Structure 1
Amino acid sequence: MKAELVKKEGNKVTLKITVDNNKFEEAVNKAYNKTKGKYNIPGFRKGKAPKVVIETQYGKGVFYNDAIDMLFPEVYPEAIKELNIDPIDRPDLDIEEISKDNGLVMVVNVEVKPEFELGAYKGIEISKVDNTVSEEDVEARLNEMVNRNARLTSVEGKALENGDTAVIDFEGFENGVAFEGGKGENYNLVIGSNTFIPGFEDQLVGKKAGEEVEVNVTFPETYHAENLAGKPVVFNVKVNDVKVKEVPALDDEFAKDTTEFETLAELRADVKTKLEEQAKNAADAEMRNALVEKVSANTEVEVPEAMVQHQIDNMLMELNYQLQYQGLNLQQLLEMTGRGLEELREERRADAERLVKSSLILEAIAEKENVEANDADIDAELEKMAAMYNMEVEKIKSSLRETDIEDIKGQIKIRKTLDLLVENATIA
């Protein structure tokens, strides 16, 4: 295989890959053996016709496309490595020649990462972010824990108030006709949570278990169901039960019952330690983001559209994963918000361009500063992954593909590059 760089214009590169005739003929023979069962040749059982007979019947080049499909994934990676090319999109392939003398000659057009001059990235001034944890912060976290362990208890004869939970049956009607999705039984509704249509919960205040009420509300103009948007409706509601939240006392007993600690003092100290660690990590992340933004502002880069589109793809994939945890998906979100996919993609464009630009700059800094991910770095990362997933390190290693390892190396290099920027920054 021979690779040659033909031309480079901006981010567009043309290269020529030549495969000698012997290697190409080997691929043709492999293609024949793989596909010969597809051909029906009179006088031969299916799959038994000689190669020359099939070529006579269907043409000399009958196996060429399959042969090229076999060869290209093998020779293309070798070519771009030899020519030190870093593609960012799928290659566009043309066949220039197939002959005994010159073999297979392929011309490949592909978009590559842009070349640019790095601006200043050392001595950048950033502001120190406060990571102080106050006693009020600790108390608030303890109160969150207490509320998570609260119980709902039925109270006979109690009138509903804000904060109480009403267990209700309901059915909605528009012009006297029940509408889809407007019915529920034994639904737990926290009064004042604004879970239902504005005004719905207010009309339940003061009601007791066993009472029935007619709730009159109007759907918002922006409601996702167009047939109900802006429409006045009536809900027939029956209150089945009234429950109040019983919050446990924040004391030693609470610490013993809900955590591994014996006293509230020990729990409080642990909460403070964890909050301080979280605050430090958040402050570090904020300072690093500010540093990357300033470094990015110092460098002009023509951000390739292919990389922007790929980043948007990743962002929408992540959004879809997040929605799935809520029992939704991307298509449902679009329907609920009345937006199209292209509109959603366009909304993400500015962030995608910023992320692509910063990643290109960080990669360039890593290359200039010879930042590498060594074996010890990779082993440490695999140890973290093993602890996170509660797996043995060797099982983690055996499950990873070569591309996964390269991704891990890339992430480590970016982190080490950020460390280098922080070490060389002026933090005021």
Structure 2
Amino acid sequence: MQVTETLNEGLKRGYSLTLTAEALEAKVNEKLDAVRADFQMKGFRKGKAPAALMKKMFGKSVIGEAMQEVVDEAMKSHFEASGDRPALQPDVKVANQEWKEGEDLTVEMSYEKLPEIEQPDFSTLKLERLVVEVEDGAITEALENLANSAQNFAPREEGAAAEDGDQVVIDFAGSIDGELFEGGSAEDYPLVLGSNSFIPGFEAQLVGAKAGDDVEVKVSFPAEYGAPNLAGKDAVFACKVKEVKAPEAAAIDDELAKKFGAESLEDLRNQITERLAAEYKGAARSVLKRQLMDSLDELVSFELPSALVDAEAQQVAHQLWHEEHPEVQGHDHGDVEITDEHKKLAERRVRLGLLLADTGSKADVQVSENELNQAVMRQAMQYRGQEKQFFDFVKTNPQALQSIQAPIYEDKVVDYIVELAEVSDKTVTKEELQKVIESLDEE
């Protein structure tokens, strides 16, 4: 193979690879020999068909495959010899389009290589880790929220008017044009006002009603209502209010704890304490990681592959556009303009991504099979009833598996760097931690 450099500008490289006719013929013969080993031809024993006859019969069908393998081997040899690591898949073109069997093949290859990264001295980094103690007040607040979510309803005093959030027990019968319709009637139905569980406008008309009242509720079924015979039609519901009940929080006791899967109130308090501690720690880690990324962004500087930056800028622009237009769910919209701000953010992401990948490689950071399986399991739990389909998808989709592995790998590299950095702890309140998190979201 003859290699001629045609481009050397920054990280951009171009080469002309000349693959000899002899190398191509040898590969074709190799593949034909592999086919002949299992080929049975009349008049010859299995695997003993003449090479010339095999070439005449199958030569043209294996030339393309042989050429691809020779090109792949040439590229592999080039990267091993040069030490270059392409940022993206190299662009490869056949130069002599009129190539004929028996001639040398010339291939033009171009790519951007990954930069050489000089590892910074991570011990010079000074980071601050926020620490939040779980206070009794936070535990009490969590218990009260659980009690409210497990609320009961107790009868209001006689003659009391129903308020938003109250439960009214009603009999109702719905009619359209004076005719009762199927499924529009019920007795002793407990309806929480403001729950939006009935047709829009229904519950609001019962606010202010008292036990014993007869209320005529007039509503219109939505045009997209599930029952075609009711969609878009006006209806009248004759309602008899039988009881008006006010919400009351459940008692904070062992019975409440058992409703949420705990053995006792003390056990529930311990579970809440552990959950809050984990939440605080996770939030504090996000702050610490952001500090680290900001510090690394200032600490390192190296040339970036333009192809990676352009691809990332497009992704950033697309992501931010959807955040500004949440009503657009699909991707069938016009082109999104890439601004200087998008480009700047893309450069930061690419720079830090390359640095972390290089650091992890040099430090031999690995994601164990057990860690990856646990992550897959956690994601599968989000698809209740479809766990097997999710596992099968991930198993047969390397890109999906990589998307799960990548954040685990990044976190492990971050942990490695933090261990080398100088980290001081600072105790703060949960409110102070929340303010810091909000400030990061605004940036």
TM-score tier by shorter-chain length is 0.5 to 0.7
Match of 1:86 in 2: 85
Cα distance between partner residues in 2 of 1:409 and 1:379: 10
Match of 1:251 in 2: 253
Change (3 A) 1:107 1:189: farther
Aligned pair 1:417/2:416, yes or no? no
The residue identity in structure 2 corresponding to 1:267 is: L
Q: Say if 2:7 and 2:14, in contact at 8 Å, map to a contact too.
A: yes
What secondary structure is seen at the aligned counterpart in 1 of 2:363? coil
Change (3 A) 1:425 1:143: same
Alignment of 1:370-385 (within 5 A): 370-373=362-365, 378-382=368-372, 384-385=374-375
Change (3 A) 1:204 1:25: farther
Cα distance between partner residues in 1 of 2:4 and 2:173: 75
1:103-152 per-position Cα deviation (integer Å, ceiling 9, x unaligned) = 32211111233446566643222233132222222223333433444468
Q: What is the aligned-residue RMSD (CA, Å)?
A: 5.8
Q: Say if 1:210 and 1:238, in contact at 8 Å, map to a contact too.
A: no
Change (3 A) 1:191 1:405: closer
The residue identity in structure 2 corresponding to 1:334 is: V
Change (3 A) 1:298 1:88: same
Question: TM-score, normalization: structure 1?
Answer: 0.59
Alignment of 1:20-31 (within 5 A): 20-25=20-25
The residue identity in structure 2 corresponding to 1:135 is: D
Match of 1:125 in 2: 126
Cα distance between partner residues in 1 of 2:314 and 2:74: 28
Match of 2:11 in 1: 11
1:198-221 per-position Cα deviation (integer Å, ceiling 9, x unaligned) = x99978743578645679xxxxxx
Match of 1:333 in 2: 327
What secondary structure is seen at the aligned counterpart in 1 of 2:289? helix
Q: Say if 2:129 and 2:423, in contact at 8 Å, map to a contact too.
A: no
Match of 1:293 in 2: 294
- Corresponding residue pairs, total: 360
Q: Percent identity?
A: 24
What is the CA-CA distance between 1:51 and the residue it aligns to?
Answer: 7.9
Alignment of 1:52-63 (within 5 A): none
Change (3 A) 1:411 1:273: closer
What secondary structure is seen at the aligned counterpart in 2 of 1:127? strand
1:173-200 per-position Cα deviation (integer Å, ceiling 9, x unaligned) = xxxxxxxxxxx999x998678999xx99
Q: Which runs of 5+ in 1 are unaligned?
A: 35-48, 56-60, 171-183, 216-234, 324-329
Cα distance between partner residues in 2 of 1:272 and 1:191: 34
Higher Rg? 2
Match of 1:275 in 2: 276
Change (3 A) 1:272 1:120: same
Match of 1:162 in 2: 164
Alignment of 1:27-42 (within 5 A): none
Cα distance between partner residues in 2 of 1:81 and 1:237: 80
1:35-67 per-position Cα deviation (integer Å, ceiling 9, x unaligned) = xxxxxxxxxxxxxx9987999xxxxx9987666
Q: Say if 2:124 and 2:422, in contact at 8 Å, map to a contact too.
A: yes
Cα distance between partner residues in 2 of 1:341 and 1:154: 57
Cα distance between partner residues in 2 of 1:399 and 1:381: 15
What is the CA-CA distance between 1:246 and the residue it aligns to?
Answer: 5.6
Change (3 A) 1:22 1:331: farther
The residue identity in structure 1 corresponding to 2:137 is: E
What secondary structure is seen at the aligned counterpart in 1 of 2:105? strand
Farther off after superposition, 298-307 or 240-249: 240-249
Match of 2:424 in 1: 427
Change (3 A) 1:80 1:136: farther
What is the CA-CA distance between 1:293 and the residue it aligns to?
Answer: 1.1
